[in-house]
Amino acid sequence: MDLLDRVLLEWSARCEKGYPDFKNEQDLAIFESMFGFKLLENRFSSNSIKAAQYIADSPEGKANDVRAFKSRDYANRINLLTIKDPEEVKVFLGKIFDIDSNTITAIPPRGQGNPSNTYYAYAFDSKKFGEVLINVSTGKKGLGGKDNELIVINAVKSYTEGKEPINVLIKGPNGPVKFTEVTDAIDASQDTGKGTKADIKLIGKGGETDIVGNISIKEDKGFRWASIGGLVKQFRQNFVDKALNDKSFPIGLIPNLDAPKKDRYLMQDKKTGDRVTKVVIENFPDIEDPKFIFGTDNPKTVIVGQNFRDEHFSFDNSTSTLTIEAAHIFTSMDQIKGSDFEPKFTIEQHRDNPYGLDFRIVPAFKARLSSAGRSVDYNLVM
């Protein structure tokens, strides 16, 4: 018996099936423990790098502003801001590669086979590139851990701290909007007032009680208007009760066995048995209520959308004006109605929420239905 035969025999004896399965992470881990290197590391990484770029270049990838990482250490990673829930990411990847999303394995951070301590990995046979492992970052790429809001706060502070008041001019569609005599910008996320929406408060010469502007910062494409489960408790209860008990109701609920708690469900089409990841509720009576969009802040919140970078800020010393370039600005419901940002009421999967469901007000472009989406009339629930 030569050395290769002895290696294969020893490895096979330790494998669950009595022979190596190259798709079995445990079998590959056994090989690594025996010989000190990963058998498929180079081939797997090469396939994954190609698949990551393919995702970014696909029509679905471009529509969701996907970015593939170029760094060698993260070249199998994509940045996806518009979809957060792992089940929805699986549907997204399945559509791109024309495969059943149920054949995709979502591996949590630090899970076996996932090298990332932060992001989910998705292992699947892509057909086009073979077996791949894609890490999906759902945070803002390239911001060094700083929030979008913090970038704006720091930009204002850099021109106000220890200096005279400045003007802040926000330019973009539906703008410009100008704030005068600004002396500071502070994080408004700790404001627990009922219905408040501002992320940033612009402070005037009178100190923190002198608020000259409230701003809600939205990523250009990866945001929701509001999560409203707590505001529609009766609707939520009716939806769950009918999904579980009413045979004529189009949406069903099945237990999510991968969820950390027992009372978590996955949505499905009762007629076909297919998984459903998004339900759009038509004719929700309060959908155009400004409180869901602008909140109750005083002065009224201005909504500013942008994935901020340094080039979006400029300062004119002659006029003491900080100009901020925005992808969009909204100051009234009239500007939003009929646009891609018009509010829609959806139900989506989120296993950390009650029942595993997230009741959301989202922009219209995030409410478009794929093959895993359905629409239900509000009156059918209530």
Domain ranges of the chain: 40-137, 144-382
Whether the pTM exceeds 0.95: the reply is no
- The pLDDT assigned to 2 comes to 62
Series of mean pLDDT values for 10-residue runs along the chain (382 residues): 66 72 64 59 70 93 84 78 85 94 87 76 92 82 57 90 91 94 87 76 92 91 77 90 95 86 89 92 86 89 90 92 95 92 91 87 88 92 91
Comparing C-alpha atoms, which of 150, 164, 158 is closest to residue 200?
150
Q: On the CB side of 47, how many CA atoms lie within 13 Å of its CA?
A: 16
pLDDT at site 82: 81
CB of 313 within 8 A of CB of 321? Answer: no
Q: Write out the two tokens for 247.
A: 């045979």
Using alpha carbons, list the distances in angstroms from residue 41 to 51, 76, 77, 127, 168.
15, 12, 15, 19, 51
Give pLDDT, residue 139.
63
Q: Please tell me the predicted confidence (pLDDT) of residue 192.
A: 52
DSSP, residue by residue, 257-280? TTSSSSSBEEEEETTT--EE-EEE
CA quadruple 74, 78, 84, 89: dihedral positive or negative? negative
In 3D space, the residue among 54, 57, 92 whose CA is nearest the CA of residue 76 turns out to be 54
* pLDDT value of position 315: 93
